[in-house]
Amino acid sequence: MAYIGNSPALNESVTTAQLDLSNGSVSVGSDVDGSDRNVTFGHSTLKSVIGIDDDQDVFAINTDNAFEAANDLEIDASGNITVPGALTTGAITSAAAFTLGSGSQFKEVAKGTGSWTHAYYTTIHSAGATEDGMWMSILTSSDGAAYGVIWFHSANGGDTHSQQQPITNLSSAGQWSGDNLQISQSSGGTLTVNWVLYQLTKD
């Protein structure tokens, strides 16, 4: 076992089965761009590298002996995580908006909560004037008096709009107003409504 005490820097090779650091921290490289900062894990089958890929300015993990154009996991300066391969997980919990699919086929566009009066339509999203695509809105009131799933569709360069309500208790509705997607509750009173809108496809 090798032991490093309070020395400011280690500039020599150490070969050991275990390395202990008395101050509990390690710094790899100086704060200057231009070269990778990496730690390599030797292995005959799955040699791997972890650190900063300078070419892309990302923190990366790659199951190879060097960084590549598409590392196995990358985190950029904004905290965005990229995993080009398959991801297996027990659950995904997100407090913020999310996007799924190579072409953003499933994307949270907007969500909100409000006190809505009877039959008053609220704009939840404005599509582009020539935007085609499919959106799904989910609406529910806090007391369960109104709920529904509403599909919005735009085609022909934004010239054709339609909507369908496959799931509803007849106290929720949706409509297009120009390029605006709107939903409402029609329970007869004022309700606290929770809603979310997902973009399913976009041309």
Contact predicate 122/194, CB 8 Å: no
Question: What does the mean pLDDT of the chain come to?
Answer: 86
Domains of the chain by range and CATH?
A: 99-202 (2.60.40.1680)
Residue-level pLDDT at 4? 54
pLDDT recorded at residue 121 = 94
The predicted structure's pLDDT at residue 13? 66
The pLDDT value recorded for residue 162 is 95
